[in-house]
Chains A and B, each alone.
Chain A
Amino acid sequence: MKRRPWQRRRDEWLLTLPSLGWLLLLFVIPTALVFAMAFRPVDPYGGIGAGWTLATLRSLGNPNYPAIVWRTLWISAATTVFCVLLAVPAGYGMGRAPAAWRSRLLLLVIVPFWTSFLIRVFAWKLLLHPEGPIKRLLLFLRLTEPGAPLLYCSAAVLLVQVYTFLPFAILPLYAAAEKFDFSLLEAARDLGASRATAFRRVFLPGVRRGLLTAVLMVFIPSLGSYVIPDLVGGTTSEMLGNKIAQRTFVDRNLPHASGLSALLTLAVLAPLAAMWLLQRQRAPWLAKEGE
């Protein structure tokens, strides 16, 4: 029984409309609203006033902001570098483990992240506490001074960011390493490559896509980080996300918060667009074999 084209078209729309409609209404329009509201004045009751203004745009030139944007970028970049540096060997180790071990190792990586995100950040707050175990150990080893803070600084933010985002780097790299043919490494060694050269010239290009996914999966959410700098960072480690929340909840200045969110959206879209272009070149948007 062959369906007529108009029936197929109607079925397609029926199946697409619920999600398409929902996301247009509650994702696309709100995102557009962020850009529009940045040009609205603030009203004295913490709402949005009538008319249009460039006041928000001008106040983004405030000398505080470049420093915060810069800090957001470097903390995100550093988080990404550390995550990839740890995830490449970890993914390699998991990919090379005997098959029976692989699923167990995978479970071991995932299980801690079934716990609440807030609770994991809180655990670090305890660990890094001035009377906490890490401080005591470092003092005992004479690696730190009694007055030096471990908490409420950029280093603490970076550490907890790496802790939180590391699985997002390990999973794509493990997925890539699992498909990688490790006998290629042995072939490279037989042909005279050193261990380091074989790793760099054969393994890394082989897991290239996993590497790219890992970088984006860490870098993009990290740009919008808010809870981590809020809970373990101090005033000198605020990121863009903290400013957005502060403008929203403390100053009740929604237009200003919108301006900052628009800025963050643009910062996120740039790497995302780069990824889309790279993926388009390699494979069409979805493999559609057998249709």
Chain B
Amino acid sequence: MKRSRLPLVVLAAVLAFFYLPILVLVVNSFNAARFGGSWGGFSLIWYRRLLRQREIWQALENSLLIAVGATAVSAVVGTTAAIALHRYATRLQRLHYSLIYTPLVIPEILMGMSLLLFFVALGLELGRWTIFLAHVTFCISYVAMVVLARLQDFDFALIEAARDLGASAWVAARRVLLPLLAPGIVAGGLLAFTLSVDDFVVTFFVAGPGATTLPIRIYSMIKHGSPPLINALSTLLLAVTFAAVSVSQRLIKRSAS
């Protein structure tokens, strides 16, 4: 029986659609012409100019600082949440689950707006701290979901067994549960870090005039800045992302074998 070729044609077209814009961006970052419409020869001029932009490095520093903090806190809070959700089937956990789940589906702008109102009502000064609080809020849900998925094949009888053999609750958690959960926590933490570094909408609402993160800087460059500089910055970010991903893939493969 002959299969239709249509799905494969659509799939190929979709993949081309996904990669085309990124390809154009990378090619244009090496284009000496200021406007992307024509090819002015290969050049690294935009990279050189980019390195001289102090604000970008400052924004990157803010982004990394916030992301490290938000990842650490949300990894702990998200993991305890996942354990509670998996371990207990009570009314409380039903409520808990909907609270964890809802931030994943509501549009970001609603979270940004509501947190802005909250911080304004409390009279908090907007800045790095409010960005940190906001990032932890959406990262908890992602970490909890990733760790929960990992827990699906965890057998809590192992903990009971450790306790029967005389381990205290703390020792059982640290020596049995944590090592088995570690890959899930690392995966959830990586996701939280990525989301925090890349977040624009929520950050934009709670940042205030003082603190600029990398996405906020990129946004104002897109609005007012010079396109070739953004091309160069994007290409650098792409290179960093791909390097990080391939290293982590290799690490995962090594720990699996």
- A residues near B (Cβ < 8 Å) are 1, 8, 11-13, 15-16, 18-20, 22-24, 26-31, 33-34, 37, 47-48, 86, 89-90, 92-94, 96, 105, 108-109, 111-112, 114-127, 129, 131-133, 136, 163, 166-167, 170, 186, 189, 195, 216-217, 220-221, 223-227, 231, 241, 244-245, 248, 254, 257-258, 261, 264-265, 268, 272, 285-286, 288, 290-291
Contacts of A29 in B (CB 8 A): 118
Considering the chains assembled together, what is the distance between the CA atoms of A50 and B43 in angstroms? Answer: 59
| Distance of A241 from chain B, by nearest CB (Å) | 5
> Please, which residues of chain A bring their CB within 8 A of the CB of B81?
15-16, 18-20
Is B256's CB within 8 Å of the partner chain A? no
Q: Please determine whether A114 and B120 come into contact, CB atoms closer than 8 angstroms.
A: no
In whole angstroms, what is the CA distance A31 to B87 when docked? 29
Known A224-B109, A288-B89; further 8 A-B contacts with Cβ < 8 A = A19-B78, A19-B144, A27-B102, A34-B110, A115-B234, A123-B234, A227-B201, A257-B113
Return B166 CB to nearest CB of chain A, in Å.
9
Q: Mark B107-123, 1 if CB is under 8 A from A, else 0.
A: 11111011111101100
Minimal beta-carbon separation of B248 from chain A (angstroms): 11
| Chain B: CB-nearest residue to A37 | B117
Report the bound CA distance from A93 to B133 in whole Å: 42
Whether a CB of chain A sits under 8 angstroms from the CB of B80 is yes
B7 contacts which chain A residues (CB < 8 A)?
89-90, 92-93, 96
Q: How far is the CA of A133 from the CA of B111 in the complex (A)?
A: 37
List residues of chain B with CB within 8 A of the CB of A112. Answer: 18-19, 22
**How far does the alpha carbon of A12 sit from the alpha carbon of B94 in the complex, in Å?**
13
Q: How far is the CA of A131 from the CA of B17 in the complex (A)?
A: 20
Chain A proximity of B186: nearest CB distance (Å): 17
A116 surroundings in chain B (CB, below 8 A): 198, 215, 218, 234, 237
B96 to A16, Cβ gap below 8 A? Answer: yes
The 6 closest A-B pairs by CB, nearest first: A224-B107, A93-B7, A123-B21, A19-B81, A30-B114, A131-B37
Chain B contacts for A23, CB-based, 8 A: 99-100, 103, 137, 140
Contact string against A for B residues 225-257, beta-carbon threshold 8 Å, 1 for contact and 0 otherwise? 001001100100110011001000000000000
| B163 lies within 8 A of chain A by Cβ | yes
Q: Say yes or no for B53: interface residue by CB 8 A criterion.
A: no
Q: Mark B156-181, 1 if CB is under 8 A from A, else 0.
A: 00001001100001000000000000
* Beta-carbon contact of A115 and B96 below 8 Å: no
Verify A27–B109 contact, CB threshold 8 A: no
Chain A residues, CB < 8 A from B129: none
Select one of B21, B106, B163 contacting A220, CB under 8 A: B106
Contact, CB under 8 Å: B117 / A30: yes
Q: Which residues of B contact A170 (CB under 8 A)?
A: 14
State how many angstroms separate the Cβ of A288 from the closest Cβ of chain B.
5
Within 8 A of A (CB), among B1-60: 1, 3-4, 6-8, 10-11, 14-15, 17-22, 24-25, 28, 35-37
> Which residues of the other chain, B, contact A257 by a CB distance below 8 angstroms?
113
Inside 8 A of A22's CB, which chain B residues have their CB?
A: 77, 136-137, 140
Interface pair A285/B84, CB less than 8 Å apart: no
CA distance A29 to B121 in the complex (A): 11
Q: Is the CB of B37 within 8 A of A1?
A: no
A121 to B113 alpha-carbon distance, docked (Å)? 22
Contacts of A28 in B (CB 8 A): 99
Contact A126 B227 (CB under 8 A): yes
Known A-B contacts A19-B96, A27-B111, A96-B7; the reply to A118 vs B37 at CB < 8 A is no
Is B14 touching A114 in the complex (CB atoms < 8 A)? no
Contact assessment for B99 and A20 in the assembled complex, using a CB-CB cutoff below 8 Å: yes
Indicate if the CB atoms of B114 and A224 lie closer than 8 Å.
no
B14 touches A268 (CB 8 A): no
Residues of B close to A114: CB separation below 8 A: 194, 241-242, 245
CA distance A13 to B81 in the complex (A): 10
Give Cα A186 to B76, complex, Å. 49
Which of B105, B237, B241 has a CB less than 8 Å from the CB of A272?
Answer: B105
Is the beta-carbon distance between A241 and B109 smaller than 8 angstroms?
A: yes
Q: How far is the CA of A16 from the CA of B84 in the complex (A)?
A: 6
User: What residues on A are CB-neighbors of B215 within 8 Å?
Assistant: 116, 118
Q: Could you tell me the distance between the alpha carbons of A260 and B136 in the complex, rounded to whole angstroms?
A: 25
Are B107 and A221 in contact, CB atoms less than 8 angstroms apart? yes
Given the complex, which residues of B lie within 8 Å of A126, measured CB to CB?
A: 21, 24-25, 28, 36, 227, 231
Q: In the complex, what's the smallest C-beta–C-beta distance from B187 to chain A, in angstroms?
A: 14
Inter-subunit contact A264/B24 (CB<8 Å):
no
Contact B10 A89 (CB under 8 A): yes
Contacts of B198 in A (CB 8 A): 116-117
